[in-house]
A and B are shown apart, each in its own frame.
Chain A
């Protein structure tokens, strides 16, 4: 059996282009944050009105 070291980890050059810190990536990350904020603003409108009762009453018969 091969040693663990032989599991080839992807090299950063190949698979981690240094986009992480690039302006494009941080812009995208800001966008995602803004979208999440909008979503969280809406969520109380769609959330079941009595969460505790809803969760308690969500009972399923087991299946496969």
Chain B
């Protein structure tokens, strides 16, 4: 049975520290995040400190396939670096030499876009705050991309709550077909290829940043031998009822429409998988090769080989998934797929597939890979440049520059789904309709009593002998409708805990 699709995304930003001989990205990320924490009032000179992330119960090595392969290395968790919880319910921390922001849990695709935009504004404010304390000839710059063009990738991850009883094999089959083919609207675009042995002459431009870095179909890794389906089995919720599908195969998108469709269509496809409503399986003969083939094919017309000897194009598979999703929503309603937002997802999905079929350039203000291609292609023609010219790669990187005055994604006039007034508020206000509301409000109102926080619990010190842990194992409890009144009625953490009965 399908369950409501609680969603969160995590973005690792590229970071450059200019004006220093020996840049250290871990130190620069720490400076950046700490500057924000002081500037936004989470920390102060008089001893106020942030609420730290609580690593208890974190088990990233558990494998959804029910075993732990000795060849699989669980990711390292760097517990000593800055790792803060924000009042909007998000997490802001240093991960693998990058600053990373995880959005709070969101109940629909529009909310994900809002909190992703809030994260961008946090990143921008962090740069300004950090650069104000650095020597005048130094500067920290962030990039919302996923590759340095030299074979190094850093991630963008999606998380979806799914029903534990859904057979994992069914998730694998259908998600691979969606993840390989959704690239036609989720790709952030890239000049050249980072597939070993492949040159810019062979692949001058491709749809995605990340496709070159995937080597396996299914596995636990996230930093090497990356798999299309990641099997990390760490639900951050009641493990008897839920799974968290951890998706590592997407790009971070400056385009809000790409982000909206990336998570909105995936939430729909997952509901159909849970309810076993997908009548046709598209099993690729070679999924990893198909992932790259789709990313490298600007015509969107190449047939992908299926295991049964037939073929289908990425567009055909996406049309099939769209049509099945629309039928599913007509029959089952929108309750478990993000409410009325799901209808907007379906309409935008249809419009984008139509545009891709008719003329992708009609989507030049909607999808990243097309906006970037049009810009770089136009520049290339005007100056008669070869695809290997460094100016084109510079434009590629600068598309993702987070400084508003330098960002080419801002200049190309991408359509927005959420406005910046609402997003600025979301920098500090949690979503009202997930457990992030409880986390965020506790941090806003009683941060001095909160010792630590993580996705599924908060730990309080209210001066009694023992610390008090409040578990939050249900992602859709602790909402404003559920506990909003408590925050009006309690003027201390002690009172709050008494009323909660813990």
Interfacial residues, chain A to chain B (CB-CB below 8 A): 1-4, 6-10, 15-16, 20, 32, 35-36, 39-40, 42-43, 46-48, 51-52, 54-64
Indicate if the CB atoms of A1 and B281 lie closer than 8 Å.
yes
B306: A residues at CB distance < 8 A: 4
**Smallest Cβ distance from B85 to chain A, in angstroms?**
20
A32: B residues at CB distance < 8 A: 361, 364
The answer for the CA separation of A37 and B325 in the assembled complex, in Å, is 40
The verdict on A35 contacting B248 (CB below 8 Å), with A47-B391, A58-B148 known, is no
- Among B25, B320, B361, which residue has its beta carbon within 8 angstroms of that of A60? B25
Please give me the residue from chain A that is nearest to B403 by CB atom. A46
Q: How many residues of B contact A (CB 8 A)?
A: 60
Please give me the residue from chain A that is nearest to B226 by CB atom. A64
B488: A residues at CB distance < 8 A: none
The verdict on A3 contacting B154 (CB below 8 Å), with A8-B323, A47-B398, A63-B12 known, is no
The answer for the CA separation of A20 and B223 in the assembled complex, in Å, is 44
- Among A4, A39, A59, A63, which residue has its beta carbon within 8 angstroms of that of B312? A4
The verdict on A58 contacting B354 (CB below 8 Å), with A3-B310, A46-B411, A47-B394 known, is no
**Smallest Cβ distance from A23 to chain B, in angstroms?**
15
The answer for the CA separation of A52 and B320 in the assembled complex, in Å, is 44
Indicate if the CB atoms of B319 and A9 lie closer than 8 Å.
yes
A-B contact count (CB 8 A): 127
Please give me the residue from chain A that is nearest to B24 by CB atom. A61
6 shortest interchain CB distances as A-B pairs: A63-B154, A64-B155, A61-B97, A51-B394, A63-B96, A60-B148
Indicate if the CB atoms of A63 and B98 lie closer than 8 Å.
yes
Indicate if the CB atoms of A55 and B394 lie closer than 8 Å.
yes
**Smallest Cβ distance from A51 to chain B, in angstroms?**
4
A54: B residues at CB distance < 8 A: 390, 394, 397
The answer for the CA separation of A42 and B378 in the assembled complex, in Å, is 13
A51: B residues at CB distance < 8 A: 390-391, 393-394
Indicate if the CB atoms of B153 and A46 lie closer than 8 Å.
no
Indicate if the CB atoms of B310 and A61 lie closer than 8 Å.
no
User: Which residues 360-413 of B have a CB within 8 angstroms of A?
Assistant: 361, 364, 374-375, 378-379, 382, 390-391, 393-395, 397-398, 405-406, 408, 411-413
A64: B residues at CB distance < 8 A: 12, 75, 95-96, 154-155, 157, 222-223, 248
B354: A residues at CB distance < 8 A: 10, 15-16
Please give me the residue from chain B that is nearest to A25 by CB atom. B362
Given contacts A63-B223, A64-B157, could you give 12 more A-B pairs where the C-beta distance is less than 8 Å?
A4-B306, A7-B319, A16-B354, A20-B358, A42-B411, A43-B408, A47-B395, A51-B390, A52-B390, A55-B393, A60-B152, A64-B12
Please give me the residue from chain A that is nearest to B316 by CB atom. A7
**Smallest Cβ distance from B27 to chain A, in angstroms?**
12
Please give me the residue from chain A that is nearest to B412 by CB atom. A39
The answer for the CA separation of A43 and B361 in the assembled complex, in Å, is 20
The answer for the CA separation of A14 and B147 in the assembled complex, in Å, is 39
**Smallest Cβ distance from A17 to chain B, in angstroms?**
9
B267: A residues at CB distance < 8 A: none
- Among B312, B374, B405, which residue has its beta carbon within 8 angstroms of that of A7? B312
Indicate if the CB atoms of B395 and A59 lie closer than 8 Å.
no
The verdict on A62 contacting B320 (CB below 8 Å), with A48-B394, A55-B390, A55-B397 known, is no
Please give me the residue from chain A that is nearest to B393 by CB atom. A55
What is the 8 Å Cβ interface bit string for chain B, positions 4-40, against chain A (1 contact, 0 not)? 0000000010111000000001000000000000000
The answer for the CA separation of A10 and B355 in the assembled complex, in Å, is 12
Q: Is B308 an interface residue (CB 8 A)?
A: yes
A8: B residues at CB distance < 8 A: 319-320, 323
22 contacts between A and B (CB under 8 A): A2-B280, A3-B310, A4-B306, A4-B312, A8-B320, A9-B316, A15-B357, A20-B358, A35-B413, A39-B375, A39-B412, A43-B379, A43-B395, A43-B408, A48-B394, A59-B150, A60-B98, A61-B154, A62-B153, A62-B223, A63-B96, A64-B155
The answer for the CA separation of A55 and B155 in the assembled complex, in Å, is 20
Indicate if the CB atoms of B152 and A61 lie closer than 8 Å.
yes
A40: B residues at CB distance < 8 A: 375, 378-379, 382
The answer for the CA separation of A39 and B320 in the assembled complex, in Å, is 37
Please give me the residue from chain B that is nearest to A46 by CB atom. B406
The answer for the CA separation of A63 and B155 in the assembled complex, in Å, is 6
**Smallest Cβ distance from B246 to chain A, in angstroms?**
10
The answer for the CA separation of A10 and B223 in the assembled complex, in Å, is 39
Q: Is B311 an interface residue (CB 8 A)?
A: yes
